[in-house]
């Protein structure tokens, strides 16, 4: 392999890892109670039972771990979907996958499925909703055996609207307790007290990354189009089906625990592609690390802008993502 | 002679949508031979190429590569035997070197993450051969149309195929790039013994560079004529296939048939109708 390329990739991973580490430290240090960076290791190792230790271990560390898993998952899901559809505007939110997952979770809240099958009901319903939407978008976007990207994007947006309307319908007919839960959850927050759910999302994101890496060459070939990829020996149908399932799993898990966090899957892959190129071997890893850092930083802003009150993190990512979306739309390379 | 045949198409019928585009197609391409497919627009030339390359499933008939039916050859193995250069060339935000390296994918082992030194050497070899090595760090979508065709041929060669299929590689290109591409293809067949099946629109280019020409007639969806350019290019054949009157002379250098078109021989359709 080209030595320059290896050096560039290693350097990218080192820079992104340092950025992530810095973001993690900032996430642990910054908040209503400020904890100096330098004393974090000492508190974690030697100060069990103190208030600072409880804040770090009980609130900030789980929240930061969740931000890593959710940001990484959404960045990776966006990379997979953009690679498959060869369209930089595609991401879990614009394709309606987030909407489908949120509908699944709302149904779980309204019908109290979590009381019957346990806390696992949230990620399961999120995954089911995401999977159903991606299946519908894919099926409805195929005309004459070929996938129509513009139809796909518009179908995704429409399904997203339908899912939002159904969520509102559920809110209208639900009890006040459920309504409160749905509203709180929809706004998107990384404040999740359940450690099992955080563990599930963390494991899910890492497994998703590892499986996705097996398909990096297939995604590189798909950049030439389905026909050319087939001519390079790639089973395009099998590749797409597998990656759809992975993207649905990553999005479903993220949405079920953290609510709707918009545009991470749009901004991060786009930015990483500009920096490191479109080779999916490095792009997937970069998008995961970049997405994780980005969401931790957005969460810090969400927690501190109007402190002691807290903004939903989805508001921050939505504002940044919306601006980036309009910018990408204005670029020459975007062809719907 | 039989063992030299790389591609054998027997009694092939191709369908596109509900309609038969081509029927009873029989042709062979031998090692080191260049066969050009010619015909009017919409006569099914590209459909034939896509069927042979396994993108479109044939309605009837069989396609054999080195004596083996392509239906029985696994996808990955097939792409080490056949390489295709299509008309539309896309590669999102990818450098020329990365693009050509994709030609080595069929040789990657199951869990191979990085390309081997052999892969890199072959990529550089074919970039040099196509005179595009200086473009290797440029983005594929930012190079010219002619350069894209040359780089695509380099990518196809990186697959180390026995059969190279090309769909109108010289369309929309200037005369210099046309010559560069067809000379390169000629070199490939002569130097590496690659069998070449190429779709061309320009009868004179096909006549100059091909060993065998195959004319497809849109009217009856069958092969109208097949053979060496000197033997089959006649005024009558062009009239039958293209419904156009031409004048045919020999190229003074290569002595291959050369087709002249004169506006005096072909009145505009409107005035003919009037």
Q: Which residue has the higher pLDDT, A209 or B59?
A: A209
The mean pLDDT of A92-100, rounded to a whole number, is 86
- Partners of B53 on chain A (C-beta within 8 Å) are 231
Write down the pLDDT at residue A331.
Answer: 67
Of A232, A277, A279, the CB nearest to B105: A232
CATH number for A44: 1.10.3470.10
- Partners of A279 on chain B (C-beta within 8 Å) are 94, 98
Of A1, A233, A281, the CB nearest to B120: A1
Write down the pLDDT at residue A123.
Answer: 86
Banded model confidence at residue A336, pLDDT cuts 50, 70, 90: very low
pLDDT, tens only, A2-35: 778 889 999 999 999 999 999 999 999 998 888 8
| Residue contact B102–A214, C-beta within 8 A | no
Nearest-neighbour CA in chain A from B67: distance (Å): 20
CB contact burial A41-79 (16+ within 10 A = b; e otherwise): eebeeeeeeeebbebbeeebbbbbbbbbbbbbbbbbbbb
Give backbone dihedrals phi and psi of B227, rounded to 5 degrees, phi first.
160, -175
Q: In this model, does residue A334 exceed pLDDT 50?
A: no
Instruction: Tell whether A334 is covered by a domain.
Output: no
Residue A36: name the closest of A26, A45, A46 by CA.
A26
What residues contact A15, with CB distance under 8 A and at least 6 apart? none
pLDDT, tens only, A138-179: 888 877 666 676 787 788 889 889 998 998 898 888 887 778
What residues contact A118, with CB distance under 8 A and at least 6 apart? none
For residue A214, the chain B residue with the least C-alpha distance is B111
Banded model confidence at residue B65, pLDDT cuts 50, 70, 90: very high
Q: Which two structure tokens, joined as six digits, stand for A267?
A: 């901004």
The residues facing A232 across adjacent strands are none
Are A280 and A224 contacting, i.e. CB atoms less than 8 angstroms apart? Answer: no
Q: Is A330 exposed, middle or buried (0-12, 13-18, 19+ CB in 10 A)?
A: exposed
For residues B90 and A221, what is the distance between their CA atoms, to the nearest angstrom?
Answer: 11
Instruction: Tell whether A336 is covered by a domain.
Output: no
Note the residue count of chain B: 274
Of A2, A216, A217, the CB nearest to B120: A2
For the CA atoms of A185, A191, A197, A202, the dihedral, rounded to the nearest 10 degrees, stands at 120
What residues contact B206, with CB distance under 8 A and at least 6 apart? B36, B38, B198, B200, B213, B229
pLDDT, tens only, A211-239: 999 999 999 999 888 889 999 999 988 89
| Residue contact B75–A214, C-beta within 8 A | no
pLDDT, tens only, A271-312: 898 888 889 999 999 999 999 999 999 999 998 888 778 888
- Partners of A2 on chain B (C-beta within 8 Å) are 97, 120
Instruction: Tell whether A186 is covered by a domain.
Output: yes
Write down the pLDDT at residue A281.
Answer: 95
- Partners of A333 on chain B (C-beta within 8 Å) are 92-93, 141
Percent pLDDT > 90 in chain A is: 35
- What is this structure's pTM? 0.87
Q: Which two structure tokens, joined as six digits, stand for B75?
A: 């996808």
pLDDT, tens only, B161-197: 999 999 999 888 889 989 999 999 999 999 889 999 9
Q: What is the number of domains present in chain A?
A: 1
Note the residue count of chain A: 336
Q: Quote the distance between the C-alpha of residue A301 and its chain's center.
A: 18
Write down the pLDDT at residue B273.
Answer: 54
Q: Is B9 exposed, middle or buried (0-12, 13-18, 19+ CB in 10 A)?
A: buried
For residues A264 and A75, what is the distance between their CA atoms, to the nearest angstrom?
Answer: 6
| Residue contact B55–A216, C-beta within 8 A | no
For the CA atoms of B214, B220, B221, B226, the dihedral, rounded to the nearest 10 degrees, stands at -10
pLDDT, tens only, B202-248: 999 999 999 999 999 888 889 999 999 999 999 999 999 998 888 89
The mean pLDDT of B63-87, rounded to a whole number, is 94
Instruction: Tell whether A121 is covered by a domain.
Output: yes
Instruction: Tell whether A178 is covered by a domain.
Output: yes
The answer to whether B40 faces chain A, any CB pair under 8 Å, is: no
The answer to whether B90 faces chain A, any CB pair under 8 Å, is: yes
Write down the pLDDT at residue B18.
Answer: 66
- Residue-number span of the structural domain to which A261 is assigned: 3-329
The answer to whether B102 faces chain A, any CB pair under 8 Å, is: yes
For residues A72 and A8, what is the distance between their CA atoms, to the nearest angstrom?
Answer: 21
- Partners of A223 on chain B (C-beta within 8 Å) are 90-92, 94
| Residue contact A233–B80, C-beta within 8 A | yes
Write down the pLDDT at residue A176.
Answer: 79
Q: In this model, does residue A259 exceed pLDDT 70?
A: yes
Are A94 and A157 contacting, i.e. CB atoms less than 8 angstroms apart? Answer: yes
Instruction: Tell whether A156 is covered by a domain.
Output: yes
Of A216, A223, A227, the CB nearest to B92: A223
The mean pLDDT of B60-86, rounded to a whole number, is 94
Q: Which of residues 263-282 of A touch B (CB under 8 A)?
A: 273, 277-279, 281
Instruction: Tell whether A335 is covered by a domain.
Output: no
For residues B264 and B274, what is the distance between their CA atoms, to the nearest angstrom?
Answer: 17
Of A86, A144, A232, the CB nearest to B102: A232
């Amino acid at each position: 392999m080209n030595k320059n390329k290896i050096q560039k990739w290693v350097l990218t991973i080192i820079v992104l890892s340092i950025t992530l580490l810095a973001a993690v430290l900032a996430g642990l240090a910054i908040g209503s109670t400020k904890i100096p960076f330098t004393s974090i290791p000492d508190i974690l190792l030697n100060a069990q039972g103190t208030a600072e230790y409880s804040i770090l271990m009980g609130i900030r560390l789980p929240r930061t771990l969740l931000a890593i898993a959710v940001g990484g998952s959404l960045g990776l899901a966006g990379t997979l979907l953009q690679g498959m559809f060869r369209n930089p505007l595609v991401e879990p939110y614009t394709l309606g996958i987030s909407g489908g997952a949120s509908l699944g979770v709302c149904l779980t809240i309204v019908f109290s499925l979590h009381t019957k099958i346990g806390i696992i009901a949230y990620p399961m319903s999120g995954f089911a909703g995401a999977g159903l939407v991606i299946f519908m978008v894919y099926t409805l976007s195929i005309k004459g055996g070929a996938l129509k990207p513009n139809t796909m994007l518009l179908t995704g947006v429409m399904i997203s609207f339908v899912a939002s309307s159904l969520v509102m319908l559920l809110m209208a007919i639900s009890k006040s307790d459920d309504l409160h839960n749905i509203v709180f959850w929809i706004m998107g927050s990384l404040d999740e007290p359940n450690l099992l759910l955080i563990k599930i999302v963390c494991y899910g994101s890492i497994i998703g990354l590892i499986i996705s890496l097996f398909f990096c060459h297939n995604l590189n070939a798909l950049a030439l189009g389905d026909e050319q990829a087939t001519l390079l020996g790639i089973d395009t149908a099998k590749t797409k089906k597998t990656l759809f399932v992975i993207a649905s799993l990553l999005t479903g898990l993220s949405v079920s625990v953290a609510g709707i966090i918009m545009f991470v899957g749009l901004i991060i892959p786009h930015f990483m592609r500009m920096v490191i190129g479109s080779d999916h071997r490095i792009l997937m890893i970069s998008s995961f690390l970049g997405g994780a850092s980005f969401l931790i930083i957005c969460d810090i802003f969400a927690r501190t802008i109007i402190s002691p009150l807290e903004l939903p993190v989805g508001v921050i990512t939505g504002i940044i993502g919306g601006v980036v979306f309009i910018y990408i739309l204005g670029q020459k390379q975007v062809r719907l | 002679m039989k063992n030299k045949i790389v591609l054998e198409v027997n009694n092939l019928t191709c369908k596109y949508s509900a309609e038969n585009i081509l029927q009873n197609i029989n042709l062979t391409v031998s090692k080191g031979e260049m066969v050009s497919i010619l015909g009017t627009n919409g006569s099914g030339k590209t459909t034939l190429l896509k069927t042979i390359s396994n993108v479109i499933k044939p309605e009837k008939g069989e396609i054999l590569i080195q004596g083996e039916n392509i239906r029985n050859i696994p996808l990955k193995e097939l792409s080490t035997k056949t390489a295709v250069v299509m008309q539309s060339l896309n590669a999102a935000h990818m450098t020329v070197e990365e693009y050509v390296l994709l030609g080595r994918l069929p040789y990657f082992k199951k869990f191979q993450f990085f390309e081997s030194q052999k892969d890199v050497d072959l990529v550089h070899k074919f970039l040099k051969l196509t005179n595009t090595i200086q473009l290797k760090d440029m983005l594929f979508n930012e190079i010219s149309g002619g350069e894209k065709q040359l780089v695509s041929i380099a990518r196809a060669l990186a697959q180390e195929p026995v059969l190279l299929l090309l769909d109108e590689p010289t369309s929309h290109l200037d005369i210099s790039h046309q010559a560069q591409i067809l000379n390169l293809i000629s070199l490939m067949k002569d130097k590496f013994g690659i069998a070449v099946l190429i779709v061309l629109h320009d009868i004179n280019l096909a006549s100059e560079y091909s060993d065998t020409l195959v004319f497809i007639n849109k009217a009856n969806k069958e092969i109208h004529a097949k053979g060496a350019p000197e033997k089959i290019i006649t005024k009558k054949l062009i009239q039958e296939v293209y419904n156009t009157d031409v004048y045919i002379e020999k190229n003074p250098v290569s002595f291959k048939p050369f087709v002249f078109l004169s506006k005096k021989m072909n009145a505009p359709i409107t005035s003919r109708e009037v």
